[in-house]
Structure 1
Amino acid sequence: MATGLDALRVLGVTVEDSAQAPGLLPFTVHGRGAVAGGLVEMDASESSQFISGLLLAGARFTAGITVVHDGKPVPSEPHLVMTVEALRDAGVAVDDGDSNTWRVEPGPIHPLDVVVEPDLSNAAAFLAAAMVTGGRVHVPDWPHHTTQAGDGIRDIFDAMGGEVTLTREGLTVTGPDRPHGLDVDLHDVGELTPVVAAVAAFADSPSWLRGVEHLRGHETDRLSALAHEIGAVGGRVEILDDGLHIRPGEFRPATLQTYADHRMGMAAAVLALGTPGVLVEDIATTGKTLPAFADMWESMVGGPDTGSRG
């Protein structure tokens, strides 16, 4: 969190953290009724959330905010598009004409009524169930036009051999007899990587998942965690500089860890669905973004006797 805390300090906010563990919890933010704002330069190559957080607050800063990114390309860039769109919908003036600079003018943030789209990244695990079983999964109300990065799962599963159909009623994925391997850059849709990796473990050929080196800094080191858990059920995974090389193997029973990481929990459920005798520990960690995940999963796959039961 050091990148975000340092940016706040530049903008005039007093933040106290531990000298022994700077940039980590616990820390104290001292509110004074206003934030000066202005210009902040930062390296957000670890997460687009550093930029989004500042932009969402920037209109209430006395001088607004100008954020300049200086570093490798920002991951999950569609999330920044979502942030800018949400601000403009609320009447905030945002200039994002430069690919590495965002300017939010000071001013009011207007209330408005919105229809919240389904969380497409959370839906990916359920669609993956069709991919690893040759079954069919339908997600109602999938948007036809969206800035959500999770919408990328449609093209990914299509490339892996799924039959992907979007209608007014929603999105339907019918899985193939066996998924195809693929070589794909997931830099902009990094949150989909765990579920895509789980499906790739069942593919008929190797897969390369690239552009996701930033996943080392998420709730856990997701590249290392995926390599270990896919390996536990018999897959062979090489950790690359920016991703994973996954080669399917002979599957075997195992107990899969979830690392207190909701995306790892969802990926483990997919691995368990396609592998007899697999137990997923602490599936409740999926509650971070989908509290009903375990119940929804059991309902979808037909009862409580599945390997994904935690």
Structure 2
Amino acid sequence: GRVSVPHWPAATTQAGDAWRELLPRLGGEVTLSGDLLTARGTGRLTGLEADLSDVGELVPTVAALAALAGAQGHASTLTGIAHLRGHETDRLAALATEIRLLGGDAEETADGLIIRPAPLHGAALHSYADHRMATFAAIIGLGVDGVSLDDVGCTSKTLPGFVDLWTAMLATAAEEHGTTPGAEPGVPGDRA
């Protein structure tokens, strides 16, 4: 798939700007044309070694992509993120636990995570009342059937309309690809 973000700034100190560098390292393609940033999947994820100390809020999403890359045979090492133990939950412990629930191979280190190659399967995931853990599960649900989440509503902390936006995005993607989404496509917790 692909996503385009209009009005991307020429210069910013926001952590999200790191996606321009991280997504290609994970196997994606990123282009910036004027102020339109477009990220496109290539159908093949790769693992990465990355110091994410400056972009800690991106770690759950990077970990989701790394776990999906692990299912395709690629290892990842995420470092510089010991500070994530002090957020809404201990995100390093939570990420390792949830990846293992999916059948993945994840290990906490003193300052990060190691995610080794392993096939993934569906599982009932936990949000830990943490909006970033909920989006981790949503991303995993894009690539793994049978994923559910106990509390997708906690995403309202940063994006009150997340469930509706996610559902609409997946319905649009299904329409573009001529497929039929489920009753609540891709929203963990709302899928059977």
1:308 aligns with 2:175: no
**What secondary structure is seen at the aligned counterpart in 2 of 1:161?**
coil
| Paired position in structure 1 for 2:28 | 162
Separation (CA, whole Å) in 2 of partners of 1:280 and 1:163? 29
What's the CA shift for 1:305? 3.3
Q: Looking at CA atoms only, which structure, 1 or 2, has the larger radius of gyration?
A: 1
| Paired position in structure 2 for 1:174 | 40
| Paired position in structure 2 for 1:273 | 142
1:294 aligns with 2:163: yes
| Paired position in structure 1 for 2:178 | none
What pairs up with 1:221-240 in 2 under 5 angstroms?
Answer: 221-240=90-109
Separation (CA, whole Å) in 2 of partners of 1:202 and 1:193? 14
Provide TM-score, normalisation by structure 1.
Answer: 0.55
What's the CA shift for 1:137? 1.3
What's the CA shift for 1:286? 0.7
User: Given the alignment, which residue of 254, 260, 283 partners 2:152?
Assistant: 283
Provide TM-score, normalisation by structure 2.
Answer: 0.87
Segments ≥4 residues shifted beyond 6 Å: none
Separation (CA, whole Å) in 2 of partners of 1:305 and 1:284? 14
Provide, for residues 174-204 of structure 1, a one-character-per-residue CA deviation record: whole Å limited to 9, x for no partner: 1122211000000000100000000001114
In structure 2, stretches of 5+ residues that fail to align are 172-180
| Paired position in structure 2 for 1:192 | 58
What's the CA shift for 1:153? 1.5
In structure 1, stretches of 5+ residues that fail to align are 1-134
What's the CA shift for 1:253? 1.5
What pairs up with 1:1-310 in 2 under 5 angstroms?
Answer: 135-203=1-69, 204-302=73-171, 304-310=183-189
Cα 1:172/1:218, change in 2 over 3 Å: same
What's the CA shift for 1:168? 2.5
What's the CA shift for 1:215? 0.3
| Paired position in structure 2 for 1:52 | none
Kindly provide the amino acid, as one letter, of the partner of residue 179 in structure 1. Answer: L
| Paired position in structure 2 for 1:117 | none
CA contact (8 A) 2:20 2:30 kept: yes
After superposition, the CA RMSD in angstroms is 1.3
Provide, for residues 29-59 of structure 1, a one-character-per-residue CA deviation record: whole Å limited to 9, x for no partner: xxxxxxxxxxxxxxxxxxxxxxxxxxxxxxx
Separation (CA, whole Å) in 1 of partners of 2:122 and 2:143? 11
Kindly provide the amino acid, as one letter, of the partner of residue 199 in structure 1. Answer: L
- Which structure ranks higher in relative contact order (CA pairs < 8 Å, sequence separation ≥ 6)? 2
Provide, for residues 57-94 of structure 1, a one-character-per-residue CA deviation record: whole Å limited to 9, x for no partner: xxxxxxxxxxxxxxxxxxxxxxxxxxxxxxxxxxxxxx
What's the CA shift for 1:239? 0.4
CA contact (8 A) 2:82 2:111 kept: yes
Separation (CA, whole Å) in 2 of partners of 1:152 and 1:294? 25
Identity of aligned residues (%): 53
Kindly provide the amino acid, as one letter, of the partner of residue 295 in structure 1. Answer: D
- Count of paired positions: 176
What's the CA shift for 1:309? 3.9
What's the CA shift for 1:307? 4.0
Separation (CA, whole Å) in 2 of partners of 1:160 and 1:236? 18
| Paired position in structure 1 for 2:177 | none
Kindly provide the amino acid, as one letter, of the partner of residue 185 in structure 1. Answer: D
